[in-house]
């Protein structure tokens, strides 16, 4: 029995977790070296990539509906991040299928690759999915956790640029703890690396060099990069034909607490208040991907006209 | 063993091999720089400058030799692991062992 078969349905095993962490840290290097540990972007089910062929999809997705929900994990994660720790068979995807009839598709990708590169790959993959999907598709909902939100934003941009058919079907995009304005932790890491390299001592320079080996995906989080600088000058526009919802958490129950204002959800600062922005005090960065209150809000927004 | 698992183990083997190789090369460079510092100070004392230089050279040879031995051991271990993986891959593909 393989490791994944022994797990609760759909929950990846420890080797997938280790590989995903490694990809987040040095995934661009792995891809450059054509290393067998580099993850190829694909939709996953039961710990295995889903072949994008109508018959396979019909069998793997059981009863595919005309409404799709695509879920993108964040840095160093895989699709298992969506599973509730207390009930690994439940996720936002399975709950949206049961409650509102969306067919969930869980993406796994190499989070160490540049975010714009992953955005382009997702654009291509969604087009292939639409061609292979066994039913006509009426609607697509995108849910991105952390870096996943930046990747989906990039995919929408590249999709609009080439007038991809899937983009017109996107009705809503959810960003859970997504660092649209950059991640503080990576800004600090960048500063520390620069300081270490500037100190004229071989040991500190060595430590700085090691820290500088982190993947381009991690470095892109510094400014929340979603598209290549050559492809667009200025801010990346939000997909005009879709509704966008920002969900954030804080490390303390009181969002006004100094720790919450300094550290946000532990990794990402919350966005400014707005109509489609919802703050969940006391919900940490990783918990945003599997929290019942967060799901209730997503379901409410999905069910709204 | 599944082919995908063999591919991943080979990837892990290559990554470890490359990391050990790169780390020993870089740490070796740093150690060389650090090793030379006290000798540079001692060499300023003219009467002992000549023997200091000789000892420094011997010391650097030892340092280089240690890192060379680590890299050599790493390559040999990589070759052996690669050979074992080739056999596993052939077995997974149902081909005769190389």
pLDDT tens-place string over residues A12-51 = 788 999 999 999 999 999 999 999 999 999 999 988 999 9
Find residues 44-63 of chain B whose CB sits inside 8 Å of chain A.
Answer: none
pLDDT value at residue A62? 84
Statement: residue A232 has pLDDT above 90:
no
Average pLDDT, chain B: 93
Average pLDDT, chain A: 92
β-pair type (A170-176, A243-250)? parallel
Under 8 Å CB-to-CB from A243, ≥6 apart: which residues? A171, A172, A173, A276, A301
Mean pLDDT throughout A191-209?
92
Please tell me whether residue A267 adopts helix, strand or coil conformation: coil
Q: Does B12 touch chain A (CB under 8 A)?
A: yes
With contacts defined as CB-CB under 8 Å, which chain A residues touch B8? 15, 19, 36-37
The answer to whether A70 touches A61, Cβ cutoff 8 Å, is no
**Helix locations, chain A, DSSP H:** 14-32, 54-60, 92-100, 115-132, 147-161, 184-198, 202-211, 216-220, 258-263, 292-303
Mean pLDDT throughout A184-197?
93
Say yes or no for a CB contact (<8 Å) between A36 and B11: yes
Q: Does B8 touch chain A (CB under 8 A)?
A: yes
CA of A33, closest CA in chain B: separation in Å? 9
Q: Does B91 touch chain A (CB under 8 A)?
A: no
ipTM (interface pTM):
0.84
**What pTM was computed for the model?**
0.90
Statement: residue A9 has pLDDT above 70:
no
The lowest-confidence range among A236-245, A268-277, B67-76 is A268-277
pLDDT value at residue A261? 85
Q: Which residue out of B7, B30, B31, B82 would a mutagenesis test of the A interface target, given it has the greatest number of A Cβ atoms within 10 Å?
A: B30
């Amino acid at each position: 029995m393989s490791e994944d078969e022994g797990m609760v349905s759909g929950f990846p095993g420890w080797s997938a977790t280790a590989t995903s962490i490694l990809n987040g840290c040095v995934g661009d290097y792995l891809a450059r070296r054509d290393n067998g540990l580099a993850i190829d972007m694909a939709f996953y089910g039961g710990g295995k990539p889903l072949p994008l062929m109508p018959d396979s999809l019909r069998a793997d997705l059981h009863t595919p509906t005309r409404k799709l929900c695509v879920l993108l994990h964040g840095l160093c994660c895989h699709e298992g991040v969506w599973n509730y720790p207390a009930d690994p068979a439940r996720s936002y995807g399975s709950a949206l299928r049961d409650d509102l009839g969306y067919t969930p598709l869980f993406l796994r990708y190499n989070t160490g690759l540049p975010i714009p590169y992953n955005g382009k790959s997702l654009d291509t993959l969604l087009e292939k999915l639409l061609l292979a999907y066994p039913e006509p598709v009426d609607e697509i909902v995108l849910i991105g956790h952390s870096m996943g939100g930046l990747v989906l934003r990039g995919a929408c941009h590249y999709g609009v640029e080439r007038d991809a058919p899937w983009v017109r079907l996107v009705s809503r995009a959810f960003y859970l703890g997504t660092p649209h304005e950059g991640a503080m932790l990576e800004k600090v890491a960048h500063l520390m690396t620069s300081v270490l390299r500037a100190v004229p001592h071989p040991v500190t320079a060595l430590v700085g060099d090691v820290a500088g080996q982190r993947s381009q995906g991690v470095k892109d989080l510094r400014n929340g990069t979603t598209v290549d600088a050559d492809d667009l000058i200025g801010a990346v526009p939000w997909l005009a034909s879709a509704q966008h919802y920002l969900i954030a958490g804080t490390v303390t129950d009181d969002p006004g607490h100094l720790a919450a204002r300094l550290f946000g959800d532990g990794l990402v600062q919350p966005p400014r208040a707005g109509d489609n922005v919802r703050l969940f005090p006391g919900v940490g960065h990783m918990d945003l991907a599997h929290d019942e209150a967060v799901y209730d809000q997503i379901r409410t927004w999905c069910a709204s006209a | 063993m599944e082919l995908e698992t063999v591919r991943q183990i080979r990837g892990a083997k290559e990554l470890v091999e490359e990391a050990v190789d790169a780390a020993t090369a870089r740490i070796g460079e740093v150690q060389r720089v650090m090793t030379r510092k006290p000798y540079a100070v001692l060499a300023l004392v003219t009467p002992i400058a000549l023997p200091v230089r000789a000892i420094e050279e011997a010391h650097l040879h030892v340092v280089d030799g240690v890192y060379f031995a680590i890299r050599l051991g790493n390559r040999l271990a990589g070759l052996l692991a690669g050979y074992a993986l080739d056999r596993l891959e052939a077995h997974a593909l149902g081909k005769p062992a190389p």
